Structure 1
Amino acid sequence: MTFKSSISRIKLTLMSLFITAAAIHSCSSGSRKASGAIDETTPQDTVLTVKGAVEMAQQFGMGWNLGNQMDAQKDGVASETAWGNPVVTQALFDKLANAGIKTVRIPVTWLGHIGDAPGYTINKAWLDRVEQLVGYAEKAGLNAIINIHHDGADSRHWLDIKGAAENPEINAAVTAQIKAMWAQIASRFKDKGQFLIFESFNEIHDGGWGWGANRTDGGKQYRTLNEWNQAFVDTVRATGGNNADRYLAVPSYCTNPDNAVDGSFKLPQDSADNRLIVAVHYYAPVDYSLNDKFKEWGHTGTDVDTWGDETSLLETFGKLKSMYVDKGIPVYIGEMGCVRRDNERAEKFRRYYLEYVCKAARDHNLAPIYWDNGYGGTGREQSGLFDRTTGEYLNNGGDIMSTMVKAVTTDDPDYTLQSVYDNAPI
């Protein structure tokens, strides 16, 4: 999710012009009925010194995204400061750890730093900076996730899911680049400890946010993404070192929770006892959480969207738990969040929304990772909690952060999802 990029503008325009509320729900949070099933493959072990999906979610704890930073790009060239955020320092990661964050997702766009075929050599300085940020996380005692972020998503760049699904030659070229890219990234980090997780891609779709040609092409795009995820796993494992059994995350189409459970998504085969994480995103309802078209949320709100309430959330999380967590397969919500509002009442509902999402995630053993894009204003796409240079809180970021950490970490038997629900703003 972005603010100043052309990608963000296209995304928000598409949402506002032709995606219905139900459509947004399907892409961002899950609303369609599940059909079919995945292969019932259960991993025998996990990394991060734990065993099982439940324990892994607990060790992931409350997560946080370094959004609109290394994933930012201008005119097809990724740059850490392209979307207005300052250069990141070690101080930020230290403050994150002090705030109770346990996992940092570092989205990375590689555009403009990739050489020609067949080598697709990654610019050393760019990869060095990614490694430095991973080092910041390691020094602060945090888990870290790195990925390939805005190189695809809407088929505008080299990760062209629509073209690849329709043309075998395009798919062969894209797959070759995926393998070349991940071979280099994985090789650079193969000696890093198991605090580091690789995530294959971000929100892969054809520009329709789940309501494009993927719905009429007979499943071609879904199968293509499954093939890409398999290529990612095979390539990383082949680099050896700690990558032989490192945890790897793979997204469903558009990171849509519905697509993760409807049979269109298949876990890759894995030589490392399937040490895989299913990656989804949750922003339901988007017009509340990101676009600020509604000021309130949930059963006590008045200015609310007509869908995407607590019941819908529990249905979505319940499906993920049943399909994966209950079978020992971890799931993380790689992005979730809610933008800052311009009045006290609306901020109360924002805190309630984030607390409910995070507490429900904890109860379903799903690891939530908050999307922070560094922007400290109010309204659409303004979700910053931390200053990127000093690590100090922006506005009421401390209050928001403590609310989410409490929801994910509190073991008090009197603190339940029902108690959160009962204490919603009125």
Structure 2
Amino acid sequence: MKKLLIISMLIASVETLHAQDFEPATEAVKNMGVGWNLGNTLEAHNQAAGTLDPTKSSYWGQQGLESEVCWGQVYATPELLKMIREAGFGAIRVPVTWYNHMDIDGKVNAAWMARVKEVVGYVLSQGMYCIINVHHDTGADISGKSYHWIKAQGSNYTTNKAKFKNLWNQIATEFKDYDQKLLFESYNEMLDNDNSWNYASSKNSGSYNVTKANDAYKAISDYAQSFVDAVRATGGNNVNRNLVVNTYAASCGSGSWNTHLQEPLSKLTVPTDPATNHIMVQVHDYPNIENGITSVKNEIDNMINRWNTYFISKGIPMILGEWGTANVDKGDGKTDYDVRRDVMFQFADYMVKKCKEYHVATFYWMGLSDGIFRIQPIFNQPDLAQTIVNAYHGSTSGYKYPTIADTGGVLNCLQKEKTIEWGSGITITNSAFSSFENSVKLKLTFTVTSNSSQDIQFNDGSWEHLTGVFVDGTPKGADYNPSGTVGTEYNVTVTFDQSVYNTLCQKGMIIQGSNVTIKKAVVEGTIVSGITPLVIDRPVDNTYYNLKGQRVTHPQKGIYIQNGKKIVFK
């Protein structure tokens, strides 16, 4: 028995010595440089109707590896992460959703875990820091359409504590030998049972309920502590790995419109940890910049002063894990990048510089290279990427920002071949057309899979049929019937009249049909001259989609998707 005890102590000692090589969290946030979110990929998810009860097996494990592209992004590639690193970014946050790849007992699907490891490998192989998390297992529920199993609620914590710890046990065990550049983030934007944003109980019926709010804040702190306990217990490099815990809803404490706005900061109990200085706190921020740069700067100053009061001055480092702008210009549906780029760039510059002053690492939310632009890969917002990098490094010298101009006017719109079906086709974003002059051509390579009902149908991004469409110069309306031989590969060139082209620049295209496999889809043309080809015209119909993909006519407070981007209404 005595010999076994000595051996156990030696093993523990070796593990501790190995882990002590890890830099403390206060150094990690400095060494990350400036970061970026690989958004709407590994955290994308869909819930089938009628499967919203976590006590039922049907809630769990609904998707396979295809979930990565179910929100309109493309599969992550090593080339994309290489481009981001060569642009001057030093850290990548990789949000991951797990419930749709777990069974009811909490076991993670092996293929999904392998894919997460693969993407993490893309990041680390570039020498960048990588953060992985538990993402849309938390979030805002939509009645009858979506439900998140982890909530800031005492009873929810009691019910799900074991499953949550088991999830992190599996993740941490899988990655326990990885070096210090891999960090774990506990949970994303965890809300109370009322789906309250900004602070707990903000959406309680009637008025703010202090009992419910305190219950939510305690649940957040309890989940954070369980996360730390579960990770540390797996040993290996996890003994001293840097860990990230989030405030309630990842709220940043910004604003003065309500006296409870600072509670997510003040009420978070930072977990006790056997490792010293290996925990950091994360918040998110998406301010409205419509009132001009002076107002935004004041808001940032006040917000960071609060961070300093509650965490930084106490030796607890922070990261701004998601940031951007509120995005929507009311009335025309365009983003801040489109309509007030000068203010947006001043905001980005100030945010990064101010955070760097307080050693807060920043991770921009998913723009810069978006949608099909990630296939090449190229930037569709290179000037914004340069602004962010320059704000941190003081220069963009030596960094690269490839754009559509570097492709010779060719934009690949399909990452992998796809058999199109009715209601499930290929989406080509509006920016694939608006980046070119009117002479744009869509070149398709395809095979047919059956002798009957061969059809390729062209719709705009709102599923309305297109009429002025020509295939190899012949007018086809919305439908093209190939009448091809099964297994034979065909190449056709699709062109458009002026009115259809204008629609495509606003709404993009959806290609659906039957018994056809599209192997290649390429847009070619002359790059827009006289103006930057990087300004993307957004749909003028203010179309928003919730996190389930359903169209929303009148979005309320919460998170929505518009043109593949995350839109936050506060």
Using the size of structure 1 for normalisation, the TM-score is 0.73
Structure 1 residue 65 corresponds to structure 2 residue 37: yes
Please report how far the alpha carbon of residue 342 of structure 1 lies from its aligned counterpart in structure 2 after TM superposition: 7.5
Amino-acid identity (%): 30
Take 2:245 and 2:129, find their aligned partners in 1: how far apart are those partners?
A: 17
Tell me how far apart the structure 1 counterparts of residues 306 and 100 of structure 2 sit (CA, whole Å).
39
Query: CA 1:369/1:238 → structure 2, altered by over 3 Å: closer, same or farther?
Result: same
SS at match of 2:187: coil
Partner of 1:405: 389
- 2:309 counterpart letter in structure 1: S
Larger CA deviation: 271-280 vs 94-103: 271-280
CA contact 2:35–2:93 (8 Å) conserved in 1: yes
Cα deviations across residues 300-322 of structure 1 (Å, max 9, x unaligned)? xxxxxxxx621121011122123
By how many angstroms is 1:262 displaced?
4.5
What letter matches 2:72 in structure 1?
G
Judged with a 3 Å threshold, the aligned counterparts in structure 2 of structure 1 residues 261 and 332 are, in CA distance, closer, same or farther, namely same
* Counterpart among 368, 372, 375 of residue 366 in structure 2: 372
Q: Does 1:220 align with 2:211?
A: no
1:68–1:373 contact (8 Å) kept in structure 2: no
Provide closer, same or farther for how the CA distance between residues 391 and 360 of structure 1 changes in structure 2, counting only shifts above 3 A: same
**Of 93, 98, 103, the match for 1:115:** 103
2:274 is the alignment partner of 1:271: yes
Residue identity opposite 1:368 in structure 2: T
How far does residue 157 in structure 1 lie from its aligned partner after superposition? 3.5
Change (3 A) 1:324 1:356: same
Alpha-carbon distance in 2 for matches of 1:63, 1:48: 23
Distance 2:107 2:149 in 1: 16
- Corresponding position of 1:240: 235
**Residue of structure 2 equivalent to 1:321:** 308
Amino acid at match of 2:222: E
In 2, Cα distance between the equivalents of 1:344 and 1:112?
Answer: 35
Q: How far off its partner does 1:196 sit?
A: 0.3
Aligned length: 334
Secondary structure of the 1:229 match is helix
Give the letter for the 1:67 counterpart: G
Q: Is the 1:324–1:330 Cα contact (8 Å) retained in structure 2?
A: yes
The DSSP-based 3-state class of the residue aligned with 1:272 is coil
In the alignment, the residues of structure 1 paired with residue 392 and residue 91 of structure 2 have an alpha-carbon distance, to the nearest angstrom, of 12
Partner of 1:116, secondary structure, is coil
Q: 1:407 to 1:69 in 2, by over 3 A?
A: same
1:393 aligns with 2:379: yes
Deviation at 1:390, TM superposition (A): 2.8
- Could you tell me which runs of 5 or more consecutive residues in structure 1 were left unpaired when the two chains were aligned: 1-45, 289-293, 300-307, 377-383, 412-426
Alpha-carbon distance between aligned partners in 2 of 1:370 and 1:344, rounded to the nearest angstrom: 17
Residues 346 and 357 of structure 1, relative CA distance in 2, 3 Å threshold: same
Which secondary structure does the structure 2 equivalent of 1:309 belong to? helix
AA of the residue aligned to 2:41: Q
* One-letter code aligned to 1:324: F
Picking from 119, 132, 135, the partner of 1:149 is 135
Contact 2:25–2:279 (CA<8 Å) still a contact in 1?
no
SS in 1 for 2:389: helix
Contact kept in structure 1, 2:34 and 2:89, CA below 8 Å:
yes
Alignment of 1:282-301 (within 5 A): 282-285=285-288, 288=289, 294=290, 297-299=292-294
Distance 1:126 1:102 in 2: 25
Q: Quick check: 2:25–2:278 contact (8 Å CA) kept in 1?
A: no
Aligned partners of 2:382 and 2:187: how far apart in 1? 30
Question: Equivalent residue for 1:140?
Answer: 126
Range moving further from structure 2, 364-373 or 251-260:
251-260
Comparing both structures, which one devotes a greater share of its residues to helix?
1
CA-based RMSD: 2.6
Q: Distance in 2 between matches of 1:138 and 1:324?
A: 28
SS at match of 1:80: helix
Contact 1:355 1:404 in 2 (8 A): yes
Q: Name the CA distance, whole Å, in 2 between partners of 1:310 and 1:125.
A: 45
Larger fraction in strand: 2
Q: In structure 1, what is the equivalent of residue 151 of structure 2?
A: 161
Alignment deviations for residues 221-278 of structure 1 (CA, whole Å, 9 cap, x no partner): 0001100000000000000011010000000101112257742111000011141010
Contact preservation (8 Å) 1:56, 1:330: no
What is aligned with 2:249?
254
Q: Which amino acid aligns with 1:116?
A: I
Output the CA distance in 2 between the equivalents of 1:129 and 1:57: 26
Question: 2:318 and 2:263 mapped to 1: Cα distance?
Answer: 10
Deviates more, 1:246-255 or 1:355-364: 355-364
User: Relative to structure 1, is the Cα distance of residues 343 and 157 closer, same or farther in structure 2, using a 3 angstrom cutoff?
Assistant: closer
- Label 1:408 to 1:343 Cα distance change in 2 as closer, same or farther (>3 A): closer
What's 1:423 paired with? none
Cα distance change, pair 253–218 in 1 and its aligned pair in 2 (3 A): closer
Mapping for residues 71-86 of structure 1, pairs under 5 Å = 71-75=43-47, 77=62, 79-86=67-74
Could you tell me which of 338, 349, 362 is aligned with 1:355? 349
- CA contact under 8 A between 2:352 and 2:391: conserved in structure 1? yes
Distance 1:234 1:325 in 2: 23
Is 1:171 the counterpart of 2:157? The answer is yes
Encode CA deviations 1:161-188: one digit per residue, 9 max, x unaligned.
25x42x3xx4322111111100000000
Displacement, 1:160?
A: 3.9
User: Greater Rg, structure 1 or structure 2?
Assistant: 2
Cα offset, 1:205, TM superposition: 0.7
TM (norm. structure 2) is 0.55
Give the whole-Å Cα distance in 2 for the aligned partners of 1:75 and 1:112.
Answer: 8
Structure 2: gaps of 5 or more residues: 1-18, 49-61, 254-261, 328-333, 396-570
Q: Deviations over 1:83-113 (max 9, x none)?
A: 0111111000100110011000000011221
- Secondary structure of 1:115's aligned partner: coil
In structure 2, what is the Cα distance between the partners aligned to 1:104 and 1:341?
Answer: 24
Q: Cα distance, 1:347 vs. partner?
A: 1.3
Contact 1:194/1:246, CA 8 A, preserved across alignment: yes
